[in-house]
Chains A and B, each alone.
Chain A
Amino acid sequence: MPDTTPSLTLVAELASLESATEFARCGAVAAGLPEDCWGHLDLVVEEIFVNVVRYAYNPGTAGVVELTYSVPRPGLLSIEIADRGAEYDPMTLREPNLSCALNERSVGGMGVFLVRQLTESLDYRRDGGWNRLRFGISAASAASASQ
């Protein structure tokens, strides 16, 4: 049986972000995700993609980002974003301190936190030189994030 999993390979640069989010939108349509959670999907894809662009490869190295999507069940979209950069498991990051005052707030660290909050599942694996980060998103996970 042929592999029909849709995939897209992009250069790891900020200019590729729009192509990445457009690809993810195709997955959203395939999964039947309602339009009111497409913004949440854009956000999750941007946070993961930008982390790859900024941190995966050495400056001046032309790296790649590979995206694939599948629909495990109607209403659930699963997307894997993979790179061949330095091993990086975002699951090991500590959650940012969100209860401190402005002068003590860190300016960073909110991207992975948002990804965790907006997704139904998030899994990392190192696979033959690839970082593979897979997330699942549904209307329910997007809607419940702020509750």
Chain B
Amino acid sequence: MTIESTQNGINVVLKVIGRMDAGNAQEFEEACKSWVNQGSKRLIIDMSELAYVSSMGLRAFVTVGKLLQEKGGTLRLSALTGLVKQVFEITRLTSVFPMHDTVDAALADV
């Protein structure tokens, strides 16, 4: 898994590429927490190239989402596809996080 972070005004976009599993989900959580600890309140996850996520990854998304919510921020998810989209739908996390078809749509949502 590779994580590319880009600051765009008040938004931080983290593009997650590859597979998020039990071996690396913590890495994603730490990357998000690092931005939150620096004061970022609007994190957007670009999932267009995330091909796989297991429950350890879901745990990381929920943990970061809760942390941001406590600080008055929001975790936005964008461009889910294939198996990842199916996993988020099965676990109904699609109704927990703001979902966007594209990163641009997430950036535009105020």
Which positions in A face B, CB cutoff 8 Å? Answer: 14, 17, 39-40, 42-43, 46-47, 50, 96, 98-99, 101-103, 105-108, 110-111, 113-114, 117-118, 145-146
Contact = CB atoms under 8 A, between A and B. Distances in A.
A51 to B, nearest CB: 10
Nearest to B89: A146
Interface stretch (B9-17, B31-39, B90-98): B90-98
Nearest to B59: A107
A145 B83 CA distance: 11
A114 B92 contact: no
B83 A40 contact: yes
Contact of B87 (A17, A103, A114): A114
Interface of B: 21-23, 51-52, 54-56, 58-59, 62-63, 65-66, 69, 82-83, 86-87, 89-92, 95-97
Contact of A105 (B21, B87, B96): B96
Contact of B22 (A50, A98, A107, A118): A50
Contacts of A105: 62, 66, 96
Contacts, number: 68
Contact of B59 (A98, A99, A102, A108): A108
Contacts of B58: 110
Given A40-B83, A46-B22, A50-B56, A101 B91 contact: no
A102 B70 CA distance: 11
Contact of A102 (B55, B66, B87, B91): B66
B69 A103 contact: yes
Contacts of B82: 39
A17 B55 contact: no
A101 B86 CA distance: 20
| Interface-central residue, B63, B91, B95, by most chain A CB under 10 Å | B91
B58 to A, nearest CB: 5
Contacts of B95: 99
A111 B55 contact: yes
Contacts of A102: 62, 65-66, 69, 96-97
A117 B52 CA distance: 16
Contacts of B51: 39
Nearest to A46: B54
